[in-house]
Structure 1
Amino acid sequence: MIQTLKIGDVSLKNNLILAPMAGVTDLPFRLLCKEQGAGLLCMEMVSAKAIYFNNKNTEELLTIDDREPPVSLQLFGSDPDIISEMAKKIENRPFSILDINMGCPVPKVAGNGEGSALMKNPKLVEEIVSKTAKAIKKPVTVKIRKGFDDEHINAVEIARIAESAGAAAVAVHGRTREQYYSGKADWDIIRQVKEAVKIPVIGNGDVTSPEAARQLMETTGCDGIMIGRGAQGNPWIFRQILHWMETGEEEPKPDLEEVKAMILRHARMLVEYKGVYTGIREMRKHVAWYTAGYPNSAKLRARVNEIESLEALEHLIQGL
């Protein structure tokens, strides 16, 4: 049975959530995941400071299409005043939920005291969440990791602080910052967080199939399922999990023709949205993800990396 989810006053049709991924969850990709049934779309993270300084590249990151909602817009930063003020400044935009990034492991973010580095400073977490939740009417959520490293596993403590400071939900990635995306996600920490707080808990990490989604929910009791890398080159994962929830059966994977059609559609949307130069270059990684595991996919990747036009990409993909 399909499970619904409510975050603050926002009701989702189902509890499947596209994770925020920098350089991946742009508008075209979000629309494809929405069509496949994702219940909530998370945008790429946006720097609160960049909004504050009116950075011109930030506008594209803040753009939301009419077909998308409900959407979660994610801010990152470490200054409680700037985050809360920028949340208020953009509140009239058509996002439904504001998320605060406390999980990004990238050195230039964490090294700046932002993203996953916030987990080392519980007092600052409390101040950021509290000020932001008071500044806007929309629900505020938090995305965290298991902890910063194996010596500092404090997801439960941070989740409790976020809840008492006014967060409407918390998403937990079962890896430490030190792990990045390697090794196996620890789902037990998600279970511990779920048992510690009353707000919805969204589990994240290693959901690459309907079977993994089932195991995550059974193991942790989590309220929502967040899918990140499992959706890269596979927007169908949302449809597959929903089909399994409704019928108890696994839907067959898309055949090569369906994959080719999706690649070309995705490419056309990217080019239309970002122009040929950027669109084609950004599509290269997506083609690698869509075709991973197929025979000769390494050769195809090498050829795609040389392509500079939509026509050349169409010719290559149609000839597969």
Structure 2
Amino acid sequence: MNAGLQIGDVRIAGRVLMAPMTGITDLPFRLLASKLGAAYVATEMVASAELARGRPDVVRRAAVGGGLPLTVIQLVGRDPEIMAEGARMAEAAGADIIDLNFGCPAKEVTGSACGSALMRTPDLACRLMEAAVKAVSRPVTVKMRLGWDDDCRNAAELARRAEDLGVKAVTVHGRTRKQFYTGQADWGAVGEVKAAVSSIPVIVNGDIITAEQAREALTQSGADALMLGRGVYGRPWLSAHLERALVDGTQLQEPGREERLDIVIEHMRASAAFYGLPLGLKMFRKHLGWYVEQAPWPEDPVERRAAKARLCRLETVEEVERALSALWRPAVDQFSNSSVENLPQLVKAAG
């Protein structure tokens, strides 16, 4: 697998990309993943109408910051004029790439005729793409699904029309909207999208966590790159590590105790600084739960789940740091083998 991917006039330093995920890829997460080596991490899905109106929480989702190798802002909406305005605002904010969401399956999104609901209204989807492309000088890309359901699998046709309109890349999740996240992603079907376009990259997405899955997804789809989604929960290093595994054929390497602990603490502190307290810790708790679930310590999964529950009830950053250090650090290995019923004592001992 050759390193690098060209999207319009933007050169991406890798071919393992990280998907935009609401509630996940906020600025603290993107900065951390980029520091760990991710070449491409998109913002959370940003509603173009609310961005144009300046709604504070939506503007925060599109937040940019120094330390990012590039800035990708994803927009969702159904009104071409408002989508164009959102694209102009994203460009003014420093977006290198503007991505349009035609793939979100959430009912609150599709119920507003946005996200993957646009697979049922391809003419409207095309008007949205045309409006965004004409509004900005930056590359516009699209993320979609295979279609709305098995009777409406129109990703290949929509991708062909996107290319004609000036869209510079297409990402396809190998499921229909009706599937949500059930069953298996159909990487082979993404190959139909690849065959339908002639000059723009196609990126395969869905069920890619291991190096073996990544290789198979690329082989079955013929895609130019791949995009990670839920597999990065609790593993913000996955994109960079998977990139290395694909380039040199090595086994996927996971961080050790000390490195993993440093990553979690850095992420938590960044979240606290970005959102303020107590909101920053509240926003981080889902990440904390995933970090604990994904770690191999304690070895007993029941004990690990109990540890997660207790850690996610702690009310200060300092308490979480002490308890997690007690759970993971080699210097206190005797604690990591203890019952998590003793976590309050561990917090005290670690302090």
TM beyond 0.5:
yes
Read off the aligned partner of 1:150 and give its amino acid letter.
D
Rounded Cα–Cα distance in structure 1 between residues aligned with 2:100 and 2:252: 35
Alignment of 1:256-267 (within 5 A): 256-267=257-268
Alignment of 1:21-40 (within 5 A): 21-40=21-40
Q: Report if the CA contact (8 A) 1:69-1:95 is conserved.
A: no
Give 2:148's aligned residue. Answer: 148
Q: Report if the CA contact (8 A) 1:69-1:96 is conserved.
A: no
Displacement of 1:2:
4.0
1:291 partnered with 2:292: yes
1:314 partnered with 2:314: no
1:212 partnered with 2:213: yes
Give 1:176's aligned residue. Answer: 176
Give 2:279's aligned residue. Answer: 278
CA displacement, residues 103-134 of structure 1 (integer Å, 9 cap, x when unaligned): 11111110000011001001111111112111
The runs of 4+ residues in structure 1 deviating greater than 6 Å are: none
- SS class of match (1:190): helix
Give 1:243's aligned residue. Answer: 244
Read off the aligned partner of 2:281 and give its amino acid letter.
I
Alignment of 1:70-149 (within 5 A): 70-149=70-149
Rounded Cα–Cα distance in structure 1 between residues aligned with 2:26 and 2:321: 21
Q: Report if the CA contact (8 A) 2:72-2:96 is conserved.
A: yes
Displacement of 1:52:
2.4
Q: Report if the CA contact (8 A) 2:39-2:69 is conserved.
A: no
CA displacement, residues 151-197 of structure 1 (integer Å, 9 cap, x when unaligned): 21111111112111211100000111122222211101211111111
Give 1:62's aligned residue. Answer: 62
Q: Report if the CA contact (8 A) 1:240-1:250 is conserved.
A: no
TM-score by length of 2: 0.88
Q: Report if the CA contact (8 A) 1:96-1:139 is conserved.
A: yes
C-alpha change, 1:81 and 1:149, in structure 2 (3 Å) is: same
Give 1:222's aligned residue. Answer: 223
- SS class of match (1:298): helix
Read off the aligned partner of 2:243 and give its amino acid letter.
L
Q: Report if the CA contact (8 A) 2:160-2:196 is conserved.
A: yes
CA displacement, residues 91-110 of structure 1 (integer Å, 9 cap, x when unaligned): 22211000110011111110
Read off the aligned partner of 1:192 and give its amino acid letter.
E
- SS class of match (1:89): helix
Identity over aligned residues, as a percent? 38
Rounded Cα–Cα distance in structure 1 between residues aligned with 2:262 and 2:5: 32
C-alpha change, 1:257 and 1:234, in structure 2 (3 Å) is: same
Rounded Cα–Cα distance in structure 1 between residues aligned with 2:72 and 2:243: 20
TM-score by length of 1: 0.96
Structure 1, gaps ≥5 residues long: none
Displacement of 1:255:
2.2
Read off the aligned partner of 1:263 and give its amino acid letter.
V
Q: Report if the CA contact (8 A) 1:188-1:220 is conserved.
A: yes
- SS class of match (2:67): coil
Give 1:302's aligned residue. Answer: 309
**Number of equivalent positions:** 320
Q: Report if the CA contact (8 A) 1:36-1:236 is conserved.
A: yes
Displacement of 1:257:
2.9
Read off the aligned partner of 1:265 and give its amino acid letter.
E
C-alpha change, 1:236 and 1:54, in structure 2 (3 Å) is: closer
CA displacement, residues 202-245 of structure 1 (integer Å, 9 cap, x when unaligned): 11111102222111112211111111111111122123222223
Report which of the two has the higher share of helix: 2
RMSD: 1.4
Structure 2, gaps ≥5 residues long: 328-351
